[in-house]
Amino acid sequence: MLEADFKYVIDTFFTLFSMVLIIFMVPGFAMLEAGLVRTKNVTSVLTINVMIYAVASLAFLLIGFDLAFGSWENDSMSIWAAFMFQMAFVGKTINIMSGGVSERVRIFPLAIFAVIMGGIIYPTVVNVSWGADMIAGTFLDLNMYDLAGSTVIHSTGGWALLAAILIMGARRGRYKNGKVRVIPASNIPLVVLGAFLLWIGWFGFNGGSVGSISSVQNADLVAKTIMNTNTAGLAGALIAGFIMYMRYKLFDITMILNGALGGLVAVTAGPDLYDMYTPILIGMIAGSLVVFAVPLFDKLQLDDPVGALSVHLVNGVWGTLAVGIFVDSISFMDQLKGVVVVAVFAFSVSFVVLFVINKITRFRAEDDAQLEGMDVNECGVEAYPEFKRAI
Amino acid sequence: MLEADFKYVIDTFFTLFSMVLIIFMVPGFAMLEAGLVRTKNVTSVLTINVMIYAVASLAFLLIGFDLAFGSWENDSMSIWAAFMFQMAFVGKTINIMSGGVSERVRIFPLAIFAVIMGGIIYPTVVNVSWGADMIAGTFLDLNMYDLAGSTVIHSTGGWALLAAILIMGARRGRYKNGKVRVIPASNIPLVVLGAFLLWIGWFGFNGGSVGSISSVQNADLVAKTIMNTNTAGLAGALIAGFIMYMRYKLFDITMILNGALGGLVAVTAGPDLYDMYTPILIGMIAGSLVVFAVPLFDKLQLDDPVGALSVHLVNGVWGTLAVGIFVDSISFMDQLKGVVVVAVFAFSVSFVVLFVINKITRFRAEDDAQLEGMDVNECGVEAYPEFKRAI
Amino acid sequence: MLEADFKYVIDTFFTLFSMVLIIFMVPGFAMLEAGLVRTKNVTSVLTINVMIYAVASLAFLLIGFDLAFGSWENDSMSIWAAFMFQMAFVGKTINIMSGGVSERVRIFPLAIFAVIMGGIIYPTVVNVSWGADMIAGTFLDLNMYDLAGSTVIHSTGGWALLAAILIMGARRGRYKNGKVRVIPASNIPLVVLGAFLLWIGWFGFNGGSVGSISSVQNADLVAKTIMNTNTAGLAGALIAGFIMYMRYKLFDITMILNGALGGLVAVTAGPDLYDMYTPILIGMIAGSLVVFAVPLFDKLQLDDPVGALSVHLVNGVWGTLAVGIFVDSISFMDQLKGVVVVAVFAFSVSFVVLFVINKITRFRAEDDAQLEGMDVNECGVEAYPEFKRAI
Amino acid sequence: MKRIEAIIKPFKLEDVKDALAEIGIDGMTVSEVKGYGRQKGHSELYRGAEYVVDFLPKIKMEMIVDGKDVDQVTATIVEAARTGKIGDGKIFVSDIEQIIRIRTGETDVEAI
Amino acid sequence: MKRIEAIIKPFKLEDVKDALAEIGIDGMTVSEVKGYGRQKGHSELYRGAEYVVDFLPKIKMEMIVDGKDVDQVTATIVEAARTGKIGDGKIFVSDIEQIIRIRTGETDVEAI
Amino acid sequence: MKRIEAIIKPFKLEDVKDALAEIGIDGMTVSEVKGYGRQKGHSELYRGAEYVVDFLPKIKMEMIVDGKDVDQVTATIVEAARTGKIGDGKIFVSDIEQIIRIRTGETDVEAI
Ligand SMILES: Nc1ncnc2c1ncn2[C@@H]1O[C@H](COP(=O)(O)OP(=O)(O)O)[C@@H](O)[C@H]1O
Ligand SMILES: Nc1ncnc2c1ncn2[C@@H]1O[C@H](COP(=O)(O)OP(=O)(O)O)[C@@H](O)[C@H]1O
Ligand SMILES: Nc1ncnc2c1ncn2[C@@H]1O[C@H](COP(=O)(O)OP(=O)(O)O)[C@@H](O)[C@H]1O
């Protein structure tokens, strides 16, 4: 057997393996968000997650992949495996955005947005960062290092979310006379389950982004990437738990998990480049950023029921810059330029697209519908009809 | 290292990988069904799922595998991996059937049936379709193409279910004076979680059924199989969501997920043979079939709490025929013959076996037991004892 | 490509695959325990699971791995993969212990204990059993065969738990005037989900412990290990179900799952050494031991809400001895010596460490805090705030 | 005006509601309660230990009616809710002094 | 002493509680109930079949007050709970003969 | 006949039920309610924001008894439910005019 054939087989298998781990993030996001919202909005959030996967993936199959990569060709592994791996990413940006506008967003316009995001916006970002690169040679050309998408996925989703929150506004009754009304999560086991499915998915996300496991060097790189990814998550969880305990003598699990996810987002830009201790530092800073960003966004009345801005936007930016700070061979300015260019592009295009869709069919459910719950109004199906709702 | 050894190692590993994905379908079915039934029957449904896995797998280990494949030998991969892969399939047929008679079936007779199904009926179907083929040369000899079991698994389970529903009847109070009483699902997050575990399991189910990943050609085939499998699921979900929205302006998540599962069932017969667009069509037809079959079976008073007839039986048939329709090299008549022969065999044998068991120890719980709930009567353990049940 | 390189690549990949399966045991333990405790203690149990993963893994990264293996070197696979695999084990011993003291243990002292267990106690046990072996040559030198840790993981965790129960006492109100008050599980679907995630994780746990899949012989060994692991789980579930049905005419799912887990624990010491039928016997004995041990520990007023003593301690011992009984080449006395030496070490060291921590900051929550629930007192976050609690 | 409270078996709710609707009662407030009485609870099993669940789920229906309708209403409930088996439940009648409909401010018989 | 029961829309609980606190009512017992009245339920969908959910979630507030406070309390509730839309709920007043505070053994007006 | 309602702390249910059984009360209806009174709720934490949970879980026991048993029953409840700490709850006694046992049609004292 030719060495090239061997590599082809192994890398196809490895990419399929990574892809499967990423697909676990679909139920991962679904469970996390279903656990974080109120019982009256659970079915709606779940439906959104399912529809995003269906709509965005098909859009990526039909138009997005071509746009991002220019062709359906691949010599180093099966193109079908390569496609599936990339397709597994596409829903994530929209998930990040949809999670942050839960409990008020209507499903139909969101599905329209998913088509555009999965078919055009996200593929364009991929094109200029990882793919065919249509702006190569122009002054916008990016040299940012972003292995698995701190910026390309997480910040992009985060900027789209910021645009969405500005357009849709806060949930009914969330801010009353300048005061924040706390709306607690309804199902903590689902939150934990979802967070761990995401965590495990991240191993495929980052490990698979190395692109090949079929040489000794690449095998090391993949393993180190996965190890560093995990380490940053551990550190993020630990520091968030520590800060909460210092302040309140209480372990707020939702914050701890957000800290972990923040660490995972932040390490995603360069897990292959760090030594084994740097991710501890990156994760601790990420976890701290989450703890401080969550109340900050609330003070700004940017209503984000799942903490997606703090986890994905803030730490997408932090993680991309961190590569420039901690890795000698990477220019900080290149990283910064990447962050800024993607920010401007993702935010402005999302804003315009959301704005236009919002004119045609409004995103935000009426106050009365929010009061009764999105489930009854959007899906007709209650999440827990037999469980009695407490006061 | 010899090329053959390399292939042996890789295919053993790949088969174990696929097997693990299929085992995720065990909690997948369990969560899906636990979410779809009423709270008073949840423990019972879960217990059935666990017992089926234990009973049918052991029966397959002790007698079924021999019956299906004639011998414990395999040159291309570890026989233990080959066994585990096949064993992972066996529970599925029974799961399909048990799901459709939930909320009234007693556990003990069902366990007896699982022994016979896992030890004899299913292995016989495998024998004639994929295995040693004891009817080769007779007029019944099958040339059906059925990669991963649209017919062998899904329709077989579906026919067994039809027999079971005829013998056990509907749930108490389901049809009153010719009117259908709607009994909604009790826990939607579990339904979604279960559906996605099934979806992910399907990658192993179909991908692993290619049998080998250890050459460039096979690597392509496996990757394409997985991609096409996924695409049909996406299309099934999308079309079901679309139809529901057109009709009711509501997104009924249970129907959307049944649409996805229908698409997955339908593509299972030939995902390796299709180009990348055909599965969209197959999935869309599958999803539409589900949407129309669910109320139809209710009109026929065939009471199927989880929609298994619509998902597995209808689409198992559709998917098998689809190979004959969309693939030039496959004869439609061969596919039809396969569908019919397996139907006659699976239905009549299941019917007789169920009938006999039913004489000895009745399958159906008394009305009073159904009223109080199967959990208290069959397991003694309530699923959610601390949660107050709403009216 | 060199054969050694090929093996390096494959074994790195295989080890990463196994590691991922083991990480599924993190949500596995979390869901199992969250389902078994009362709703007022669910968040606390989940938080403990998350904190253990974060704390013990980081401790193992910073000090434990060095202590256990003497160096960060590995020729046969990526050291990072080897590390991740070992790290995936470390939390398990603590999970076993924390589960058994749920509903009364405070989180902060437990986190301290996790540092010491993950950084020192468990690495020391690994050192003498699997690792650098610092007692080689002394009269304590162990020749025990323990492939994946019936003793090294499960009994070690079990002995630590026994020490913990002796120090912390039973839950408030559990034993009143010598009578046992039954405290049922609050969420059975979570119990089932958790048990199956553990089951699937076990394939990686035991399969990965073979250490290599990259030769025909090793591929067979891995596949057989996984098959035998599964078989023992099946047999444990079956026998537990059978005994319960004989005695009560009821299928108690929590006991059936504990039986399955008991079978998995018991087979863990030697799944690579058995023929395909022995695990049935081992699993059946394991399942029976669980059924009899659970009420026995209650009679001894050792209050263990999740049955961890019966599953992990009793069957860790049984499984280790079983290798000496069923495998000719293994000396029963060596196995017994291993069991005893580890028991003495793990119990006494855990006891002393727990005792000292308990003096500094008591482990056990006040009765009033237990009454109100650990969630409000330790986390400030209720698990199901919108669900009305039944009487 | 009188308050009629009926404690019934949960699966009889639909029947009783329909029977009451037929005699023109179309306002009521319902809640899930647990009952303790001659009908004994069932025993459950948990990890090898049996224990008794004392309290049985019941439905409590409350309706405020004009004093003259009391007999008809109670008779209707008795008929629709009876299975003849132990645990069928009870009806309690007591006095109500004042009623107000929040939406309109109407009081007493107009507010029923 | 009188018992005042108010059936209100769930999202009005906070407002009513605050309004009552302002007039010095600081003891009450609240429960979730289901209401059936002129306000009709909504229809839900399940796997292609529509059906009507009859019973609507309501909150029942109960407070025992001194007889002389009844009018002020009911007026306060009416004002705070009214949305003007159908389904706003009702208030029922009845008589209480005796009250005991378990902690102290105090009775009647002292025990309110 | 009289209705005795007791609002108690949830973990006292078992004790009170047993004490009542001893003096021959073997019918009652129980429900979970939320209480608001002098005993204040606890504060919870959610993603870095603290907030107060006002309403505390309580159990409401209702039993209809013969008028002559009222004093004994209330005394029994007070004794069994008292912890001496704030929030122990209250007992309310009111009048019941009529009782019907659905199963048999028996009325009043025979139906208790
Ligand atoms: N004295 C009572 N006070 C309040 N509720 C009662 C009383 N006696 C019975 N009940 C309620 O009525 C229900 C049925 O009573 P039970 O004695 O079990 O049977 P039956 O209705 O056939 O006499 C009980 O579950 C309880 O909810
Ligand atoms: N006769 C009655 N007895 C008891 N409760 C009633 C009665 N009539 C109405 N209710 C309660 O009041 C609620 C509101 O009544 P409804 O007729 O829907 O509207 P409105 O309050 O505007 O008249 C109902 O949901 C029910 O809980
Ligand atoms: N006026 C009242 N009307 C109705 N329920 C009351 C009233 N006052 C108190 N309660 C109930 O009694 C419970 C206990 O009262 P609280 O004032 O907290 O303490 P204590 O019982 O020690 O006086 C409350 O939680 C509430 O459910």
Pairing relation of β-strands F28-36 and F43-46?
Answer: unpaired
Ligand nearest to the CA of F24: 1
Q: Which amino acid is at A248?
A: Y
Q: Is B370:C242 a contact under the CB 8 Å cutoff? A: no
CA C169/CA A329 separation, integer angstroms: 57
Helix, strand and coil in chain E, % to nearest 5 = 30, 40, 30
Nearest CA to ligand 2 atom 12: E89
Distance F42 CA to ligand 3 centre (A): 16
Among all residues of chain C, which has the CA nearest to that of D35?
C391
Mutate to test the interface with C, among F44, F47, F58, F59 (most CBs of C within 10 A): F44
Compute the average pLDDT of residues C58-81: 94
Distance B139 CA to ligand 3 centre (A): 83
Please say if the pLDDT value at position C391 is more than 70. Answer: no
Full 3-state SS string of chain A:
CCHHHHHHHHHHHHHHHHHHHHHCHHHHHHHHHHHHCCHHHHHHHHHHHHHHHHHHHHHHHHHHHHHHHCCCCCCCCCHHHHHHHHHHHHHHHHHHHHHHCCCCECHHHHHHHHHHHHHHHHHHHHHHHCCCCCCCCCCCCCCCCCCCCHHHHHHHHHHHHHHHHHHHCCCCCCEECCEECCCCCCCHHHHHHHHHHHHHHHHHHHHHHCCCCCCHHHHHHHHHHHHHHHHHHHHHHHHHHHHHHHHHCCCCHHHHHHHHHHHHHHHCCCCCCCCCCHHHHHHHHHHHHHHHHHHHHHHCCCCCCCCHHHHHHHHHHHHHHHHHHHCCCCCHHHHHHHHHHHHHHHHHHHHHHHHHHHHHCCCECCHHHHHHCHHHHHHCCCCCCCECECC
Please say if the pLDDT value at position C346 is more than 90. Answer: yes
How far does the CA of residue A247 sit from the closest CA of chain F (Å)? 9
Nearest CB partner across the interface for C192, out of B9, B17, B27: B27
Nearest CB partner across the interface for A254, out of F34, F47, F55: F47
pLDDT at A391: 65
Please say if the pLDDT value at position B140 is more than 90. Answer: no
How far does the CA of residue E44 sit from the closest CA of chain F (Å)? 28
Compute the average pLDDT of residues B66-76: 92
Q: In the structure, what pLDDT confidence band is assigned to residue F48 with cuts at 50, 70 and 90?
A: confident
pLDDT at C287: 98
Hey, are the CB atoms on E90 and D96 less than 8 Å from each other?
A: no
Is the CB of D4 inside 8 Å of chain F's CB atoms? no
Q: Which amino acid is at C141?
A: D
What is the position in ligand 1's atom list of the atom closest to the CA of F104? 22
Q: In the structure, what pLDDT confidence band is assigned to residue C133 with cuts at 50, 70 and 90?
A: confident
Distance F7 CA to ligand 3 centre (A): 8
pLDDT at B391: 65
Nearest CA to ligand 3 atom 20: F87
Mutate to test the interface with D, among E13, E15, E32, E33 (most CBs of D within 10 A): E33
Most distant CA pair in chain E, distance: 59
Q: Which chains touch D (3 or more CB pairs under 8 A)?
A: B, C, E, F
Nearest to C374 by CA among C176, C164, C110: C110
Please say if the pLDDT value at position C186 is more than 90. Answer: yes
Q: Tens of pLDDT along E59-87?
A: 999 999 999 999 999 999 999 999 999 99
Hey, are the CB atoms on D44 and B391 less than 8 Å from each other?
A: no
CA distances from C341 to C140, C141, C147, C348 (A): 7, 9, 17, 11
pLDDT at B9: 97
Residues with CB under 6 Å of ligand 3 are E 27-29, 62-64, 101-103, 112; F 7, 35-39, 56, 58, 86-90
Compute the average pLDDT of residues A242-252: 96
Q: Tens of pLDDT along D17-68?
A: 999 999 999 899 999 999 998 888 788 888 878 888 888 999 999 999 999 9
Q: Which residue has the tokens 């049955």?
A: C307
Ligand nearest to the CA of F112: 1
Hey, are the CB atoms on E50 and A391 less than 8 Å from each other?
A: no
The interface predicted TM-score of the complex, written ipTM, equals 0.96
Ligand nearest to the CA of D28: 2
Please say if the pLDDT value at position B365 is more than 80. Answer: yes
CA A384/CA B284 separation, integer angstroms: 29
Least confident span in B173-182, B288-297, C192-201 = B173-182
Give the whole-number percent of chain A exceeding pLDDT 90: 91
Nearest CB partner across the interface for F48, out of A183, A291, A390: A291
What is the DSSP-derived secondary structure letter of residue C120? Answer: I
Hey, are the CB atoms on C380 and F50 less than 8 Å from each other?
A: yes
Q: Name the residue of E3, E28, E108 whose CB sits within 8 Å of the most ligand 3 atoms, as the mutation to test its pocket.
A: E28
pLDDT at F38: 86
pLDDT at E26: 84
CA B27/CA C193 separation, integer angstroms: 6
Is the CB of C334 inside 8 Å of chain B's CB atoms? no
